[in-house]
A and B are shown apart, each in its own frame.
Chain A
């Protein structure tokens, strides 16, 4: 299972990772090897088998909708790299 450079850059874009040239070269080889190894799952014919997303038989856990104490604005912003007033501040969006 090979992954070519174009696919790799597409996946990196989806994952919001700006990869350096040396990383791209290394990842091409490593991802190829990893994907070849994990492709082993396709050896099994499991047409009728249901998928397991979660090992517990717990579904739809509800709670009463009651207000409880939560973080203050100051606490929520305490680790912000940049803020303005009561907001997180980010650089402007560029041309998409």
Chain B
């Protein structure tokens, strides 16, 4: 009997390699778990049949293009779209023998923090189905925590990997910008979008990252890793200097239970040998959210211009071309993409460009410089990943600005292009709390080392209580 709730990808790989189980049995175990629990949780938008082989199964966020498998990005406008080529990350996973379990739910075009913006209905949190799994990659994070996939890929623009991992109690990495190809990924905001792993352990997360990272000739923004991925071992953190940015740890709106769990984890890092230093990111947190919610919608308004009903996806009935474009987009896009297209188009329009988009790009420079200055003397920064634990479904739907605040702590480092890892660090009110560990560019190995040490020292039980 395969216990999909507890099996790590590393263990699964070992079992298959030692021929203790077959690839078919492994795949079937996850399919059975999906059949049993996904009716309630709705992690998957599409479940695949076993295509054979002995590789480890994996779930993919539905913004990742998969040849012959529907890819909707959680939007009606892509309903029925079946890509004719694989995203580079998918081709790389297949080359390593991994097999696709299915496509996971996401806020429409990855725009959201709760997965409630999916046109196909929300995903529920495996710890408490009355609550959201976070977003936009709530489907991937919930699937991993509920034992419906050993690991998964997500995408992160302003927190869409780290925040759901925090809210579902697993490990999520937003890699350094440029280290993972976006070729074949549904684009949201191209100067921010990154693909990254979601896993049950830091070692699984690191291994999965090693499979997808590196230069891709089809994505000109990609670079080779300056050093290979090192799978973390041990708990010793001597020699590391870890910063605790005041603004990220004391921001208004952080729940006391979140602060308590994060403080305890930070103290543990010191016990493991790390040297702690209080530090400051004065303007990154104060201006990060405003900067992000100009840059991301501006880029989105441009990227989403391609959905015009001509080449793929939904087309509304109309007798004239312009009418066809406008009606297709009105009927095909949900509320959040429309809001962002409108904000972005406004911010880029004549007369407003300098005051909004141009100014936001300058603020982005300020944020990047603030982070770079800290990393001249520090190896990592720690804070809560999310100000709150998982919130009830519907709680923030009516107020877009309240939803945007969910990303307050993840956004600054995204704007600076830096890697961030979220690791479970305890519970508050019975729900998981994530510690965010941010590093300098290409600092993933240090993040894995810190996250792994913390994971071992804490012994966090990643299986949701109600499923134990």
Q: Which of B305, B346, B400 is A11 in contact with, Cβ under 8 Å?
A: B346
- Residue total for A at the interface (Cβ-Cβ under 8 A): 54
The stretch of B9-17, B261-269, B306-314, B385-393 that contacts the partner chain: B306-314
CB pair B339–A63 under 8 Å, yes or no, is: no
Contact of B364 among A17, A40, A51, A82 (CB under 8 A): A51
Q: Which residues of B contact A8 (CB under 8 A)?
A: 342
B324 touches A91 (CB 8 A): yes
The smallest C-beta distance from B376 to any residue of chain A, in angstroms, reads: 17
Q: Which of B206-214, B355-363, B420-428 contacts A (4 or more CB under 8 A)?
A: B355-363
B416 within 8 A of A: yes
- How many A-B contacts are there with CB distance less than 8 Å? 184
Bits for B397-415, please: 1 = Cβ < 8 Å to A, else 0.
0001100100000000001
Q: Which residues of B contact A81 (CB under 8 A)?
A: 309-310, 312-315
Query: Do A27 and B342 contact each other (CB < 8 Å), given the known contacts A16-B325, A42-B355, A56-B177?
Result: yes
* A49 engages B365 (CB within 8 Å): yes
Of the residues B305, B343, B368, B401, contact of A52 by C-beta under 8 Å: B368
Report the separation of the CA atoms of residues A88 and B264 in the bound assembly, to the nearest whole angstrom.
60
Shortest CB–CB separation between residue A30 and chain B, in angstroms?
6
In the docked arrangement, what's the CA distance between A17 and B293, Å?
20
Q: Which residues on the A side are within 8 Å of B217 (C-beta)?
A: 63
Which residue numbers of A lie inside 8 Å of B, CB to CB? 3, 7-8, 11-12, 14-20, 23, 27, 30-31, 33-35, 37-44, 46, 49-56, 58, 61, 63, 71, 75-76, 78-82, 88, 90-94, 96
Chain B interface (Cβ within 8 Å of chain A)?
80-82, 84-85, 177-178, 191, 217, 220-221, 223, 283, 286-287, 289-291, 293-294, 301, 305, 308-315, 318-327, 329-330, 333, 338-339, 341-343, 345-347, 349, 355-356, 358-366, 368, 400-401, 404, 415-418
